[in-house]
Structure 1
Amino acid sequence: MIYDFSKPTCRRGTNSYKWDSATGDDIIPLWVADMDFETYPGITEALRRRVDHAIFGYTRVPDGYYETVCRWFEERHGWRFHRDDIIYTSGVVPAISAIIKALTLTGDQVVVMGPVYNCFFSSIRNNGCELSSSPLIYNKALLRYEIDFHDLEQRLSHERARLLLLCNPHNPGGRVWSRDELERVAVLCKKHGVRVVSDEIHCELTLGDHRYTPFGTLPDDLSYGSVTCCSPSKAFNIAGLQIANIVCRDAAVRERIDRAININEVCDVNPFGVLALQAAYSDGGYDWLCQLRAYLTENYRRLRNFFARELPHLPVMNMEGTYLAWVDCSSLGESSEHIEERLMRENRVWVNAGSMYGKEGEGFIRINMACPWSRLEEGIKRIGK
């Protein structure tokens, strides 16, 4: 079946956080990371059947749910784990918060590689831990981020370092970390007794020929004690259905996390999320996903060509994954927040200021490319003005 991602769908008036948070109807929102594409129709059909039942009590997660998750990751990504390794919860951010609660004490350090997803900061802070950010190296010649392994090891060696929060693929930098890079990170973490917690929510959203490597597929001596958070929410545009999974093969660690999930009261999920995941992780869902990735890759190609032609002083990062373009605006000599505010006020287009992803993101903006090209084209033309 052929899917049409160029179809514009009006989202205003639906209490959309992305669209209805705007101050005016003329603003094009290219900010928060959800897509303007209708989800895979198989998901809609599954939810429609459930709605027709007309009773929405507490849900029991069935055996088929676990089997679907295990099969998807083994067949699509070569990552084999068992149903007992899975803890379901309502989202990746609640999962990360519970994991930090379970595996740290107040005052411990949690290492990240900045710039990085902003909710990492609040999850660390809210659990009484200290942020330790290892800045990624911005390779301007290759227009990509690289890991500063020397600085990373210094931070991992700190006596209070307990966890490394890894973003794989990386948001907002767009890197899909290679197996070699992940193994080097894992070796350092093992050397210094730091556990890896990998946020892999963007794992399905690779661009072009790039391939995602699950951290859990590294050799057992490097990955056994790691924790991975994943969800179909980004790839299938179902974040509002609130479903995610924690995968951990170490039973003792998993038991601690499960207790924290219950302490944080994020142990219950809704029936729509359970059904949506099972529909998404199907052969039909995979076909839809492949066509989505092709459309996103083409959007990215067109966006880069526009900036190269019209705004050559604002380089676009070489994106390997996610649908979030990362643009270097440092030549403007303005703060990221001022650029965001000015684009909204003067040009009626909403992007994210890079500074919200840590001090390493200052001078950048983030643009959501997950919308019909006609909408994205109008947004970047407004930026060009």
Structure 2
Amino acid sequence: MKKYNFDEVIPRSGTNCIKYDAKEWMFKTDDVLPLWVADTDFRTPDFIVEAIKKRAEHEIYGYTFKPDSYYNAIIGWMERRHNWSIKKEWISFSPGVVAGLTIAIETFSKPGDSVIVQPPVYFPFFDSVKGTKRKLIENPLKIENGRFTFDFDDLKSKIDKNTKLLLLCNPQNPGGMVWTRSELEELSAICLKHGITVISDEIHSDLIFEGHTHIPFSTLSEEAAKNSVVCMAPSKTFNVAGLASSLVIIPEKAKHARYERALNVGHLGMGNIFGSVALEAAYNHGDEWLEQLMDYLWENYLLLEKFMKQHLPKVKVMKPEATFLIWLDFSAYGMNDEELMKFTVEKAKVGLNNGGRFGTGGDGWLRLNIGCPRSVLEEGLERLKTAFCQI
């Protein structure tokens, strides 16, 4: 068994990567340690790199289609990792999960319809709704026993005849919740009762910590399958977001046909050669690598948790059940969002995500990415300690 080295520090500056080369644009200074953008600093697995190199050796990169082996890789991965038996005819494509969400919004609703979003949540959700001229309805999450959960009473109070869609973040970003079966079943029942289609962003579904199980929304019941669109990708798992290849799974035949029609109007269905090659390699050969990654990420989280308890006890850490993103409550320091970001950038010299961008419930919080070599995380934590211990 090959042992992968997640401690390796790989310089990324000068590669046009957003995390490092867009620091000055984001933070108005280049002098920050970036722990923000939701990709990792780990080397893309060798089996993916080798597959891309092999395809690149054939020096014609013309029009291509997705072979049966592509679909079989997806089907096998879903069966092994998520106990989900899917069919080829359910699978469609998107350049990215946000693109898939947006296409689905445009396909299954019309301008002026209401779309429910559950903040604090991945902030492009808001742009996808507003940018398509739909009405954004917020159903904020509650914190109970240190984790997010749904507020079903609030949800039911927000639904009217114009409510057509609900955008679900499953697992949840930024909190890292893996929704339980009972939580999802109650959510599904409400949406089914009111004819609301669930569009489920499941991009973090592979990144599940021990003791938790990801439940694809469409597996809840036959009715849920007919009432849902599931968006997934290998991008977060295997650090291939730049290859712009995601998948959309729609079990209901008529919905699938409508989505495909919208996708093909924009000639978006082909994707790119190397994205397809990477996806196939990832899903055929990625199991052992992923197991090692999750072990490493959990050790990173335990390091962060211990560090905060010892050195920054005023910071409340939401314990993740999935993802490499940690949701940190700095509200005890009494700063508003602008002040908190300014202090973190100028005094700690660490680049994190501003909690306010995630919507209602995000004020006073910051999102930190632990998908990095341990030495980088340690440096970031030390910088935060030095700065906040002066307050």
Q: TM-score, normalised by structure 1?
A: 0.96
Secondary structure of 1:43's partner?
Answer: helix
Aligned mate of 2:63, from 52, 58, 68:
58
Output the CA distance in 2 between the equivalents of 1:221 and 1:307. 44
Does the 8 Å CA contact 2:192/2:227 hold for their aligned counterparts?
no
C-alpha displacement of 1:264: 4.0
C-alpha displacement of 1:222: 2.6
Output the CA distance in 1 between the equivalents of 2:120 and 2:266. 27
Partner of 2:349: 348
Deviating beyond 3 angstroms after TM superposition, the runs of 4 or more aligned structure 1 residues are: none
C-alpha displacement of 1:77: 0.9
Q: How does 1:288-367 map to 2 (within 5 A)?
A: 288-367=289-368
C-alpha displacement of 1:168: 0.4
Secondary structure of 1:339's partner?
Answer: helix
Partner of 2:183: 181
Secondary structure of 2:237's partner?
Answer: coil
Output the CA distance in 1 between the equivalents of 2:270 and 2:314. 49
Question: 2:217 aligned with 1:215, yes or no?
Answer: yes
Output the CA distance in 2 between the equivalents of 1:248 and 1:321. 24
- Structure 1 residues 39-48 or 15-24, which shifts more? 15-24
Q: Which runs of 5+ in 2 are unaligned?
A: 387-391
Output the CA distance in 2 between the equivalents of 1:346 and 1:34. 25
C-alpha displacement of 1:276: 0.3
Aligned length: 381
C-alpha displacement of 1:262: 2.4
C-alpha displacement of 1:291: 0.3
Question: 2:129 aligned with 1:129, yes or no?
Answer: no
C-alpha displacement of 1:265: 4.1
Partner of 2:246: 244
CA deviation vs aligned residue, 1:187-238 (integer Å, no higher than 9, x gap)? 1101111111100000001123221111121111233221100000000000
C-alpha displacement of 1:336: 2.4
Aligned mate of 2:96, from 66, 73, 91:
91
The two structures, once aligned, show a CA RMSD in angstroms of 1.2
Aligned mate of 1:255, from 257, 276, 280:
257
CA deviation vs aligned residue, 1:120-167 (integer Å, no higher than 9, x gap)? 01111111101111111122xx22111111111222x31211001000
Partner of 1:380: 381
C-alpha displacement of 1:263: 3.3
Secondary structure of 1:361's partner?
Answer: coil
Output the CA distance in 2 between the equivalents of 1:72 and 1:327. 32
Does the 8 Å CA contact 1:89/1:268 hold for their aligned counterparts?
no
Output the CA distance in 2 between the equivalents of 1:266 and 1:338. 42
Output the CA distance in 2 between the equivalents of 1:269 and 1:107. 30
CA deviation vs aligned residue, 1:50-104 (integer Å, no higher than 9, x gap)? 1211222222111111111111101221111110011112111111110000001
Secondary structure of 2:218's partner?
Answer: helix
Output the CA distance in 2 between the equivalents of 1:42 and 1:336. 42
- Structure 1 residues 194-203 or 17-26, which shifts more? 17-26
Q: TM-score, normalised by structure 2?
A: 0.95
1:127 maps to amino acid: T
Output the CA distance in 2 between the equivalents of 1:381 and 1:150. 42
Secondary structure of 2:107's partner?
Answer: helix
Does the 8 Å CA contact 1:6/1:373 hold for their aligned counterparts?
yes
Q: How does 1:86-125 map to 2 (within 5 A)?
A: 86-125=91-130
Percent identity (aligned): 41
Output the CA distance in 2 between the equivalents of 1:314 and 1:75. 38
Does the 8 Å CA contact 1:94/1:266 hold for their aligned counterparts?
no
Does the 8 Å CA contact 1:208/1:297 hold for their aligned counterparts?
no
Secondary structure of 2:57's partner?
Answer: helix
Output the CA distance in 2 between the equivalents of 1:144 and 1:75. 28
Partner of 1:145: 148
